[in-house]
Amino acid sequence: MKALILVGGYGTRLRPLTLSVAKPLVEFGNKPMLLHQLEALVEAGVKHIILAVSYRAEQMEQELKNVEEQLGVKISISLETEPLGTAGPLALAKDLLTQDHEPFFVLNSDIICDFPFKQMVQFHKHHGRQGTIVVTKVDEPSKYGVVVYDPENGRIQKFVEKPQEYVSNKINAGMYILSPSVLDRIELKPTSIEKEVFPFMANDNDLYAMELQGFWMDVGQPKDFLTGMCMYLSSLREKSPDLLHNEEGIVGNVLVDPTAKIGRNCRIGPNVTIGPDVVIEDGACIKRCTILRGARVRSHSWLESCIIGWRCVVGRWVRMENVSVLGEDVTVKDELYINGGRILPHKSISDSVPEPQIIM
């Protein structure tokens, strides 16, 4: 089977991180976001994965050369010269996708969950129609595209994009299996699959919903990135608890790369991910954060709900909170307070940011 991952464009919602690194390569849980999906696809028997990309294709090709070898899978890049939306890329990759006449996976690249690829294949074969959409239950469905379907058999009746009144709490989880015949419905132009393809398939009773079990998160923006990290670490605790760190000063679910160093009298966790070559000095308190490769957090600082970018240096007695994000190579001087600050790469901060702000 094949898979198409909609990688798309600039990843602007995850700036300032995506100013330095293409979004699929940003490390989530100490592994590039894309790799979580690739590994799960390979495990489900996928042999060829097509990345639909409209930006920074070369950076990704570079990084992914090793992955091809490691996972034993073929990775192709389908380059959009103009952004083609969520359906157009399928038309662009038509030749690749129809090679083996089999149904194929389509995934949004921002999705992290307990990937149900094997169940999807079974479910899709069982109903035998053109498409399967994975749906998931969320607390605030009005932010997403809501799916209305028959709970008996999963046949989708309609979609409501960002409903103004409560319709249902099941939303499109961004993972599909489509039969090659679906490609006849898609033209090679900027097209939205949710608005211009699925509704017609639903009318033809050709679209079915499979409910996802377990956690789900669209980690395309910092707030959700951190929430997703918490969910991911919880699921690690259940499935592979020995991957998590367990020492003095560690509280709750904490993932620490073996090359990272943590000082004395720290309090790390709950819900912290610490990347390779990171140094945490004595007396630091870190909660609900992702610390990316090579960063240094100096002594006595207190961080909550932050993403600290690659090679950053956070000074001593610094307080950071409220989804602050430091881009690559940012320096925060001693004794500052950063509240909801988004700091662009290579910046040196010497004044506090007491209210949420973007610092260029």
Partner 1 sequence: MIKTIILIGGPMKGTRFRPLSLELPKPLFPVAGYPIIHHHIEACSKVPHMKEVILIGFYQPNDALNKFISNVQQEFKIQVRYLQEYTALGTAGGLYHFRDQILAGKPDSFFVMNSDVCGDFPLKEMLSFTVQKGGGSHCTVLGTEATRQQSLNYGCIVENKNTHEVLHYVEKPETYISTTINCGVYLFSPDIFCTLEKIFKKNQEDNYNCDPNMQMKETIRLEQDIFVPMAGSGKLYVYHTDRFWSQIKTSGAAIYANRHYLALYQNWHKERLARNGELKPQIIGDVYIHPTADVHPTAVLGPNVSVGKHAVIGEGARVRESIVLEGAVLQDHCCVLYSVIGWNVTIGMWTRVEGTPNDPNPNKPFAKVDVKDTFSPDGKLNPSITVIGSNVQVPSEVILLNAMVLPDKSLAGSCKNQIIL
Q: Which is nearer to partner 1, 108 or 299 (CB)?
A: 299
Question: Cα separations (Å) of 126 from 105, 123, 317?
Answer: 16, 5, 59
Q: Given 65, 125, 143, 162, which residue is catalytic?
A: 162
CB of 344 to partner 1, least distance (A): 24
CA distance 329 to 313: 7
**Looking at this protein, which amino acid is placed at residue 30?**
N
Count Cβ atoms within 10 A of the Cβ of residue 239 and give its class: 0-12 exposed, 13-18 middle, 19 or more buried. exposed
Active site residue 162: yes
Q: Which is nearer to partner 1, 300 or 311 (CB)?
A: 300
**Looking at this protein, which amino acid is placed at residue 74?**
K
CA distance 268 to 169: 35
Q: Which is nearer to partner 1, 108 or 305 (CB)?
A: 305
CB of 356 to partner 1, least distance (A): 13
Q: Which is nearer to partner 1, 78 or 299 (CB)?
A: 299
- Helix and strand tally (H, E) in the chain? 7, 31
- Binding residues (CB under 8 A) for partner 1: these are 265, 282-283, 285, 299-300, 302, 304, 316-317, 319, 321, 335, 337, 352, 354
Count Cβ atoms within 10 A of the Cβ of residue 355 and give its class: 0-12 exposed, 13-18 middle, 19 or more buried. exposed
For helices 57-71 and 33-43, what crossing angle results, to 10°?
40
SS3 223: helix
Q: Which is nearer to partner 1, 199 or 263 (CB)?
A: 263
CB of 254 to partner 1, least distance (A): 17
CB of 278 to partner 1, least distance (A): 19
Tokens of 258: 């073996």
Q: Which is nearer to partner 1, 185 or 300 (CB)?
A: 300
| Stretch (H or E) spanning 90 | helix 88-92
Tokens of 112: 């992290």
CB of 340 to partner 1, least distance (A): 12
**Looking at this protein, which amino acid is placed at residue 338?**
I
Q: Which residues pair with 307 in a beta bridge?
A: 290, 325
CB of 72 to partner 1, least distance (A): 47
Nearest of 158, 163, 134 to residue 148 by alpha carbon: 158
User: Taking a C-beta distance cutoff of 8 angstroms, is the pair 36, 23 a contact?
Assistant: no
Please give the positions annotated as active site. 162
